[in-house]
Amino acid sequence: MADALKLKDEGIRGGGGGGNGLTTALGNLGEYPRRLRQFLHEVRIEMKAVNWPSRSDVVSTTIVVAVTVAFFGVYFLLTDTTAQRAISWLIDYGKHH
């Protein structure tokens, strides 16, 4: 029983190698600037390795996307209008017969 109380007392005081005390939190906080600097360094290296598209590639891809969106916009407009008129005709036909 004395051993159990001793272990409980050490846990409350932050001893016993639990590693979850105030000193650990402060140690992690002090490590933050170094980790941030390392992260930004790695980002800089990765950004240099990126294969950026040329201006003509971006323009041609943008045109393809705009034409495709316009095509499908017109397609869905016609499909929706046709379906709406067909349903309205069916409803009117059902009311009169």
**pLDDT for the residue 19:** 55
Instruction: Work out the average pLDDT over 79-85.
Output: 98
Query: Would you say residue 16 has pLDDT above 70?
Result: no
Query: Would you say residue 53 has pLDDT above 90?
Result: yes
**pLDDT for the residue 46:** 95
What are 50's two structure tokens? 């990126």
Domain residue ranges of the chain, discontinuous segments joined by +: 1-50, 53-97
Q: How crowded is the C-beta side of 64, counted as CA atoms within 13 Å?
A: 6
Confidence of residue 32 (pLDDT cuts 50, 70, 90): confident
Q: Could you give the CA distance from residue 34 to residue 41 in angstroms, rounded to a whole number? A: 11
Residue type (1 letter), 29: L
- Which one is predicted more confidently, 67 or 16? 67
The answer to whether the pTM exceeds 0.75 is no
Query: Among 31, 12, 30, 33, which Cα is nearest to 21's?
Result: 12
